[in-house]
Amino acid sequence: MGPGRGRAALLLTAVVSVNASYTVMIPFVPDLQHRVGAAPFVVALTFALFAGAKTLAQPVGGWWVDRWRADRVAMLSMLTATAGIVLTALARDTLTLLAARACWGIGEGLVTPALYVGMAALCRRHGISTSRMMGNFGSAAVAGFLLGPLIAGVAVPAGLTGLFLTGAAVTAVTAVGLVRAIPGPESDSGPREEPDAVPAADASAAGTAPVRWWVWALLLGGLDMFTFVVYSALEPVLPVYLSTGTHASARTAISAVFVAGLAVSGLAMRLLGRYTPPLRTLAALGLGLTAVGLCAMAVSADVVAVAASFMVYMFGYAMLFLTTRRGIVELKAVAADDGKAFGLFGLVSDIGNVIGPFIGMALYAVTDRLPFLVLGAVSGLVLLPLAAAGRRRGTGRGHGRAGQPMTSELVRRA
């Protein structure tokens, strides 16, 4: 294994660890209630504090990366998350538990921009395809979501304390590994190749000022927020919906649907990372598949029908996930403030995870099929201006060398 691949493996390991944190605690909710005497509201607050702290910490992490070093920021951020994990494992009262989860969320929010900046630097340093790396990045994220509850389920006999202390040790080792994975400033000197990004000179020739990085960070973050609104809305809605239509075990049906969908998403990200369609094409296809999959779910609550529709939707989800992250990575070519761009993108994006469940359950309270129809219709409406722009400009624009997508296509339309 070459140095580039070794570093990439370390970086992707960190991505798996970060995303597993979202789901690893779910099987231990009863343990938390027993240990700290937590009421349902407190349990909900432990998850909300983690998500909120992570969301708000991302712009701070982006600012920090721009002023220091991505490798050092990543290490210290992961060590902050480690402290939160240890405190969670040892918490015996509500206040300590809430403080621990907030600390955990802050650490993971701070590390997120550092991981994206580190990935971009790694691609430049070793000539790795940004699209391929982003595909692997997305697959690692999905693997983390799947591994979290799986590991927690297998390790239930070890108890919350044992599992979380072990997880803290792994996170600390990963933090040290990130210093090796992310190229430092001394590695960025000399000639570099950026396979999938547009040179800054090309962007300047297109008449684009670097100060406009925040516009595209907001736009791409807005698209990603919509993507997360839809997925997080389905997380509480689908289990209730499936329980009304299955004749077998509802728990088995719910697990089968989500595992199948996440597996399709991870595979799609890996494949799409190796085939690099233009960003506009990815976005259009992603929105189209999202609309089709969501509307198809409204037809029947039968587990087979829902699973098939959910897999179509998750393929579209993978396309939108890659669109936004490839777009924000390629902004590196036209903006010096890449850490701030990643931080602002993450702040806007993660709002979707906060409001999505409320939107989904509010629509479901009206009728069980309304969430799928409304969210599918909105996906189609978002697709319309994108398709209109494509017809005006022609499908061949946005490429330089064959197979290389260009963010400057987006920037020229600003």
Concatenating the DSSP letter of every residue in 11-61 gives HHHHHHHHHHHHHTTGGGHHHHHHHH---HHHHHHHHHHHHHHHHHHHHHH
Find the angle CA(200)-CA(203)-CA(208) to the nearest 5 degrees: 125
CATH of the structural domain 3-183, one choice from 1.10.357.10, 1.20.1250.20, 3.40.50.1170, 2.60.120.10: 1.20.1250.20
* Residue spans of beta strands (DSSP E) within 61-193: none
User: Which 3-state string (H, E, C) describes 62-90?
Assistant: HHHHHHCCHHHHHHHHHHHHHHHHHHHHH
* CATH T-level assignment (fold) for domain 200-412: Growth Hormone; Chain: A; (1.20.1250)
Mean pLDDT, the chain, as a whole number? Answer: 79
CB 111 within 8 A of CB 57: no
Q: What is the pTM of this model?
A: 0.73
CA distances from 296 to 52, 103, 311, 371 (A): 33, 41, 11, 12
- Site of tokens 């971009």: 120
Q: At what angle do helices 279-297 and 213-243 cross, to 10 degrees?
A: 20
Question: Between residues 78 and 244, which one has the greater pLDDT?
Answer: 78
- Site of tokens 């976005």: 283
Note whether 3-183 and 200-412 share their fold. yes
pLDDT at 352 over 50: yes
What average pLDDT score do residues 315-323 get?
93
What SS3 class is residue 399? strand
Work out whether the CA dihedral 223, 337, 57, 4 comes out positive or negative: positive
d(CA 96, CA 121): 38
**Which stretches within 246-333 are classed as H helix?**
250-274, 279-297, 303-330
For residue range 238-292, what is the model confidence (pLDDT) as tens digits? 888 887 765 556 667 887 888 888 889 988 988 887 777 788 888 999 999 999 9
Residue 352 identity:
G
Query: Which element (helix H / strand E) includes 246?
Result: none
For residue range 375-408, what is the model confidence (pLDDT) as tens digits? 999 999 988 877 665 555 544 444 444 334 434 4
d(CA 130, CA 124): 9
**Averaging pLDDT over each range in 23-27, 40-44, 67-71, 311-315, which range is the top one?**
311-315
User: Domain spans of the chain?
Assistant: 3-183, 200-412
